């Protein structure tokens, strides 16, 4: 188990490194650089030269990458190309804001999804299941920028209950994000609930039809006891992976939602830094997102192992 | 009798208004065009003009008709050949930090713009100034390298704002000026806060605070306006206008501007090096149809002149679509079977692709086969514009002389169509030194007519700006940013 953990950690580190190389190459391949992006049509002559000199852009790409990587390994993410501010400071607040958004959606969405998923599976093909499943399909398939715009129209323009756009600066205390953060959380909750509840529903239905559930019922175990003791613990295992993926998606900065709501999180910062060709910031964010993905998936696998006795003892029995 | 009552109540209004304490907060958004490179240095590339226009003043500013009117300079006069200008400065003006504004500040601010080391984008606008000298505390003499009759027009440039002597290194963050508002907090990507400058020389502002909020996404800005989170959004589209006009919670101002969009055919490469081909390329355009189809009617037709419809030097020109004429010219130039053109377009300016498609349809009638090439917005200015043979362009309003000089003069830095024409250059230099206004206007008009004959740039229209405000805003001048008197704006 421990050996597996180390192997997975090693693989994770390699993944993160590969991501940083790919991002670097990707941004390098885009037309223009930080200076042409900033100067636009004034990007010529001395102004351009000075700018490239200031940002060290006239050195070879490989040299810039190794320098950046050396710093990153030592925990120094470098300085933002344009603002000349330490990146850790810039990214820190954005990461915190994205965490706020994500945890709001997770706290609201996961219990809701589990509850609705189980309910619609137990009352399969009954009115409650039909309503929940139909709504879920809608929530999944309507693009989030459309549902976001609709919610803004209804709740902030027509009803005037909550502000439509987030105007709080990135480094404001967390409390100041209320109530502005409620609408983006609602949209995220809609999307993720739909995804998770559909997985939960199908795996509960599968478990209900399984041999052990049939056996329990034949033995005369009361229906609800069978559901809680035998069906749910088995059915919810596959949900762990879907939940992990969703959490990783949320923590990675939900670009579209953050842009529509003007939310100062990681996703919007990523977009801005790419259009500014601000390579150090782009790299730092990519690194964070990659680490989150690797970490959350690893955690999900470990959880699954712990929850499933057969997988947990497989190595021991073999040995 | 009615008149007297009217006048009396008018006076009473003015009086109550003059003694009223500034109140309320006016909020607007800006697009954070320069990202984290944003600054309050009025002459740097990253200046956030939505802030600098409220905290700093110019020597001369445009009045409601766009003509030069006094700001920090109260009077000006030129010598006989317009090579020396004497500006008399307003006295008793203080900067936000309490220091007195005087001639030395003007010398410092202008020399800073002219300093080649700064390499400011504003430099080319006033590059004819060779020397700035303080005669006494309230008089400045500007010496020009060549005659220039319209210097005050150029001094209205939105970047030429006066800052305290020696403040250049800090101005990007301190934002100290003489404007109607003082900087309280600068946060380009968040909310910048301004407070009323009670000592402003034209009287205290009507609002107590202004908030300039960074919102990058255009759709998000509109939603902020609809939700009442901001009070004004400049530059809404004609589609968005519909949403605002149906409601009594909003007002829409319609402001003709000198901002233009256009198609460029490089005059230095075949086939466009033949003036007949260039003429034909422009004759096929049905400009009114372009205004209607591309801009939803929100533009004023232009005949390939960059000079805006409200500019005093705008030439009266006529340029109807002429397919037969274009065909004849093409045949004469050896393209009887028509010709193929690759036109490069990006979504950097959202109306470009639409404009290109409308042009494609119109040009097809004369046998011009336009092949639209969509390229990424990233790097458009450095790798496509002024590089490819046929591209799209856009410019913001500038005074007639500046527009003609910076973009069409043989030696211009931004000669985007590589236009080189001795007759045109001569007309411009004559106009610049002509002191008689009517003669000068005539020369500028001739220069524009010359462009309509020979240029490689198709300018179908000047954009009309739509400004959306919430109903709580009043006294917002219905003019471009550049002329708005921000201290008059009030909110309920």
Q: A280 at the B interface (CB within 8 A)?
A: no
Are B485 and B390 in a shared domain?
A: no
Strand partners, B88: B75, B139
Question: CA B76 to CA B80: how far, in whole Å?
Answer: 13
Is B236 a member of any domain?
no
Mean pLDDT of B340-348: 93
- Look up the pTM and report it: 0.81
Mean pLDDT of B479-487: 92
Q: What residue of A is the nearest CA neighbor of B227?
A: A157
Q: A184 at the B interface (CB within 8 A)?
A: no
Of B119, B190, B224, the CB nearest to A46: B119
Q: Which residue has the higher pLDDT, A40 or B44?
A: B44
Collect all residues of chain B within an 8 Å Cβ-Cβ radius of residue A36.
379, 381-382
Is B443 a member of any domain?
yes
Q: A173 at the B interface (CB within 8 A)?
A: no
Q: What is the CATH number of the domain that holds B48?
A: 3.40.190.10
Q: A50 at the B interface (CB within 8 A)?
A: yes
Q: A99: distance to nearest CA of chain B, Å? A: 19
Are B274 and B394 in a shared domain?
A: yes
Domain count across chain B: 2
- Residues A82, B35: C-beta atoms closer than 8 Å: yes
Collect all residues of chain A within an 8 Å Cβ-Cβ radius of residue B249.
none
Collect all residues of chain A within an 8 Å Cβ-Cβ radius of residue B379.
30-32, 36-37
Of B190, B227, B385, the CB nearest to A156: B227
Question: CA A205 to CA A123: how far, in whole Å?
Answer: 10
- Residues A41, B381: C-beta atoms closer than 8 Å: yes
- Residues A30, B379: C-beta atoms closer than 8 Å: yes
The two tokens of residue A52 are 């490239």
| Whether residue B356 has pLDDT greater than 70 | yes
- Residues A260, B220: C-beta atoms closer than 8 Å: yes
In 3D, which of B63, B83, B261, B259 has the Cα closest to residue B153? B63
Are B196 and B272 in a shared domain?
A: no
- Tell me if B290 sits within 8 A of B284, measured CB to CB: no
Are B25 and B174 in a shared domain?
A: yes
Q: Is the link from the previous residue into A179 a cis peptide, with omega within 30 of 0?
A: yes
Are B374 and B282 in a shared domain?
A: yes
Is B134 a member of any domain?
yes
Collect all residues of chain A within an 8 Å Cβ-Cβ radius of residue B233.
none
**What is the pLDDT confidence band of residue B6, given thresholds at 50, 70 and 90?**
very low
Mean pLDDT of B25-37: 85
Q: A29: distance to nearest CA of chain B, Å? A: 11
Q: Of B250-259, B299-308, B372-381, which range is least confident?
A: B372-381
pLDDT, one tens digit per residue, over B191-243 is 999 999 999 999 999 999 999 998 888 888 988 998 899 999 998 888 788 88
3 state DSSP class of B459: strand
Give the distance from CA B470 to its chain's centroid.
24
What DSSP string runs through B170-197? THHHH---SSSEEEEE--TTSEEEEEE-
pLDDT of residue B218: 83
- Residues B382, A36: C-beta atoms closer than 8 Å: yes
- Tell me if B416 sits within 8 A of B260, measured CB to CB: no
3 state DSSP class of B101: coil
| Whether residue B162 has pLDDT greater than 50 | yes
Q: A97 at the B interface (CB within 8 A)?
A: no
Is B451 a member of any domain?
yes
Collect all residues of chain B within an 8 Å Cβ-Cβ radius of residue A256.
none
> Dihedral, CA atoms, B371, B376, B381, B383, nearest 10 degrees?
-80
- Residues A275, B378: C-beta atoms closer than 8 Å: yes
- Tell me if A285 sits within 8 A of A273, measured CB to CB: yes
Collect all residues of chain B within an 8 Å Cβ-Cβ radius of residue A41.
381, 385, 414
In 3D, which of B373, B377, B381, B431 has the Cα closest to residue B404? B431
- Residues B223, A164: C-beta atoms closer than 8 Å: yes
What DSSP string runs through A193-217? HHHHHHHHHHHHHHHHTSHHHHHHH
Q: Is the link from the previous residue into B271 a cis peptide, with omega within 30 of 0?
A: yes
Mean pLDDT of B344-366: 94
- Tell me if B209 sits within 8 A of B193, measured CB to CB: yes
Are B479 and B434 in a shared domain?
A: no
pLDDT of residue A249: 85
Collect all residues of chain A within an 8 Å Cβ-Cβ radius of residue B346.
none
Of A31, A167, A275, the CB nearest to B229: A167
- Residues A164, B216: C-beta atoms closer than 8 Å: no
| Whether residue B490 has pLDDT greater than 50 | yes
Q: What is the mean pLDDT of chain B?
A: 91
Is B251 a member of any domain?
no
Collect all residues of chain B within an 8 Å Cβ-Cβ radius of residue A282.
none
Q: A214 at the B interface (CB within 8 A)?
A: no
- Residues A50, B383: C-beta atoms closer than 8 Å: no
Collect all residues of chain A within an 8 Å Cβ-Cβ radius of residue B385.
41
pLDDT of residue A24: 86
| Whether residue B138 has pLDDT greater than 50 | yes
Are B481 and B431 in a shared domain?
A: no
Are B459 and B477 in a shared domain?
A: no
pLDDT of residue B377: 82
Please report where in the chains the tokens 């190309």 appear, as a residue.
Answer: A81
Q: What is the CATH number of the domain that holds B436?
A: 3.10.105.10
Q: A163: distance to nearest CA of chain B, Å? A: 7
Collect all residues of chain A within an 8 Å Cβ-Cβ radius of residue B414.
41
Are B134 and B275 in a shared domain?
A: no
Q: What residue of B is the nearest CA neighbor of A168?
A: B190
The two tokens of residue A179 are 């109530």
Question: CA B83 to CA B65: how far, in whole Å?
Answer: 26
Q: Which of B36, B381, B393, B398 should one mutate to test binding to chain A, selecting the residue with the greatest count of A CBs within 10 A?
A: B36
Query: Structural domain of residue B295, as residue ranges?
Result: 256-465
pLDDT of residue A312: 60
Mean pLDDT of B478-487: 93
Q: A37: distance to nearest CA of chain B, Å? A: 7
Length of chain A in residues, anyone? 319
Q: Which residue has the higher pLDDT, A237 or B472?
A: B472
pLDDT of residue A318: 47
pLDDT of residue B127: 87
pLDDT of residue A72: 81
Is B64 a member of any domain?
yes
Q: B385: distance to nearest CA of chain A, Å? A: 8
Are B99 and B182 in a shared domain?
A: yes
Give the distance from CA A300 to its chain's centroid.
14
Q: How many cross-chain Cβ pairs, A to B, lie less than 8 Å apart? A: 111
Q: B94: distance to nearest CA of chain A, Å? A: 31
Are B201 and B291 in a shared domain?
A: no
Is B383 a member of any domain?
yes
Q: A170: distance to nearest CA of chain B, Å? A: 7
- Residues B383, A31: C-beta atoms closer than 8 Å: yes
Per-residue model confidence as pLDDT tens for chain A (319 residues): 678 788 888 988 898 889 889 988 888 887 778 788 777 777 777 778 887 887 778 888 888 888 888 888 887 777 776 656 778 888 888 899 999 999 999 999 999 999 999 999 999 999 999 999 999 999 888 988 899 989 988 998 888 888 888 888 888 888 889 888 999 999 999 988 998 999 999 999 999 999 988 898 899 889 999 898 888 888 888 888 888 888 888 887 688 899 889 898 998 888 888 877 787 888 888 888 888 888 888 888 888 887 776 666 655 554 4
- Tell me if B285 sits within 8 A of B423, measured CB to CB: no
Q: A179 at the B interface (CB within 8 A)?
A: no
pLDDT of residue B217: 82
Are B397 and B476 in a shared domain?
A: no
Q: A165 at the B interface (CB within 8 A)?
A: yes
- Residues A169, B190: C-beta atoms closer than 8 Å: yes
The two tokens of residue A149 are 């715009």
Is B237 a member of any domain?
no
């Amino acid at each position: 188990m421990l050996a597996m953990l180390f192997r997975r950690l090693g693989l994770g580190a390699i993944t993160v490194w590969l991501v940083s190389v790919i991002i670097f190459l990707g941004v390098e391949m885009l037309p223009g650089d930080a200076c042409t992006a900033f100067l636009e049509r004034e990007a010529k002559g001395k102004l351009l030269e000075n700018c490239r000199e200031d940002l060290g852009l006239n050195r070879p790409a490989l040299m810039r990458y190794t320098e950046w990587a050396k710093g990153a390994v030592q925990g120094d993410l470098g300085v933002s190309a344009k603002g000349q501010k330490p990146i850790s400071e810039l990214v820190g607040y954005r990461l915190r804001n994205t965490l706020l958004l994500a945890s709001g959606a997770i706290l609201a969405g996961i219990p809701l999804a589990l509850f609705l998923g189980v309910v619609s599976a137990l009352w399969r093909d009954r009115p409650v299941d039909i309503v929940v499943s139909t709504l879920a399909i809608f929530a999944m398939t309507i693009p989030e920028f459309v549902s976001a715009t609709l919610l803004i129209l209804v709740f902030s323009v027509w009803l005037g209950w909550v502000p439509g756009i987030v105007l709080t600066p990135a480094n404001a205390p967390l409390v100041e994000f209320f109530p502005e953060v409620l609408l983006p959380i609602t949209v995220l909750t809609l999307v993720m609930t739909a995804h998770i509840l559909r997985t939960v529903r199908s795996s509960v239905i599968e478990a209900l039809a399984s041999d052990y559930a049939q056996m329990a019922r034949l033995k005369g175990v009361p229906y609800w006891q069978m559901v809680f003791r035998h069906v749910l613990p088995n059915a919810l295992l596959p949900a762990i992976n879907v939940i992990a993926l969703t959490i990783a998606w949320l923590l990675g900065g939900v670009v579209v939602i953050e842009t529509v709501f003007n939310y100062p999180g990681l996703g919007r910062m990523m977009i801005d830094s790419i259009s500014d060709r601000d390579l150090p910031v782009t790299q730092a964010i990519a690194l964070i997102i990659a680490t989150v993905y690797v970490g959350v998936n690893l955690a999900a696998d470990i959880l699954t192992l712990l929850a499933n006795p057969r997988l947990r003892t497989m190595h021991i029995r073999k040995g | 009798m009615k008149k007297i009552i009217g006048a009396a109540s008018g006076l009473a209004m003015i009086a109550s208004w003059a003694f009223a304490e500034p109140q309320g907060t006016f909020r607007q958004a800006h697009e954070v065009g320069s990202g984290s490179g944003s600054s309050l240095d009025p002459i740097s590339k990253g200046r956030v003009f939505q802030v600098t226009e409220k905290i700093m003043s110019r020597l001369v500013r445009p009045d409601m008709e766009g003509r030069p009117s006094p700001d920090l300079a109260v009077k000006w006069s030129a010598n006989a050949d317009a090579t020396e200008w004497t500006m008399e400065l307003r006295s008793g003006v203080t900067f936000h930090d309490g220091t007195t504004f005087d001639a030395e500040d003007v010398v410092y601010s202008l020399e800073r713009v002219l300093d080649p080391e700064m390499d400011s984008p504003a430099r080319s606008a006033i590059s004819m100034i060779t020397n700035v000298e303080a005669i006494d505390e309230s008089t400045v003499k500007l010496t020009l390298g060549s005659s220039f009759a319209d210097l005050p027009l150029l001094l209205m440039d939105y970047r030429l704002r006066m800052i305290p002597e020696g403040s250049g290194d800090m101005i990007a963050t301190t934002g100290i000026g003489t404007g109607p508002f003082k900087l309280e907090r600068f946060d380009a990507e968040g909310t910048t806060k301004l407070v009323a400058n009670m000592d402003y020389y034209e009287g205290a502002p009507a609002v107590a605070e202004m908030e300039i909020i960074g919102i990058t996404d255009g759709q998000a800005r509109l939603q902020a306006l609809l939700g009442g989170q901001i009070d004004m959004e400049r530059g809404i589209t004609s589609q968005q206008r519909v949403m605002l006009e149906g409601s009594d919670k909003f007002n829409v101002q319609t402001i003709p501007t000198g901002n233009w969009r256009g198609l460029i055919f490089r005059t230095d490469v075949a086939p466009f090096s033949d003036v007949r081909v260039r003429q034909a390329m422009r004759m096929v355009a049905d400009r009114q149809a372009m205004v209607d189809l591309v801009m939803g009617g929100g533009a004023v037709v232009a005949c390939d002149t960059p000079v805006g419809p409200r500019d005093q030097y705008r030439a009266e020109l006529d340029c109807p679509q002429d397919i037969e004429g274009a065909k004849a010219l093409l045949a004469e130039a050896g393209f009887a079977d028509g010709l193929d053109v690759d036109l490069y377009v990006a979504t950097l300016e959202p109306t470009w692709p639409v404009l290109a498609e409308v042009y494609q349809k119109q040009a097809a009638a004369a046998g011009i086969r336009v092949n639209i090439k969509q390229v990424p917005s990233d790097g458009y200015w450095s790798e496509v514009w002024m590089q490819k043979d046929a591209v799209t362009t856009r410019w913001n309003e500038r005074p007639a002389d500046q527009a003609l000089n910076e973009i069409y003069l043989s030696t211009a830095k931004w000669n985007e169509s590589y236009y080189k024409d001795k007759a045109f250059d001569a007309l411009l230099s004559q106009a610049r030194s002509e002191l008689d206004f009517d003669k000068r206007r005539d020369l500028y008009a001739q220069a524009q007519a010359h462009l309509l004959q020979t240029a490689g740039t198709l300018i179908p229209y000047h954009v009309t700006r739509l400004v959306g405000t919430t109903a709580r805003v009043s006294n917002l001048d219905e003019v471009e940013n550049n002329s708005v008197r921000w201290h008059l704006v009030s909110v309920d």
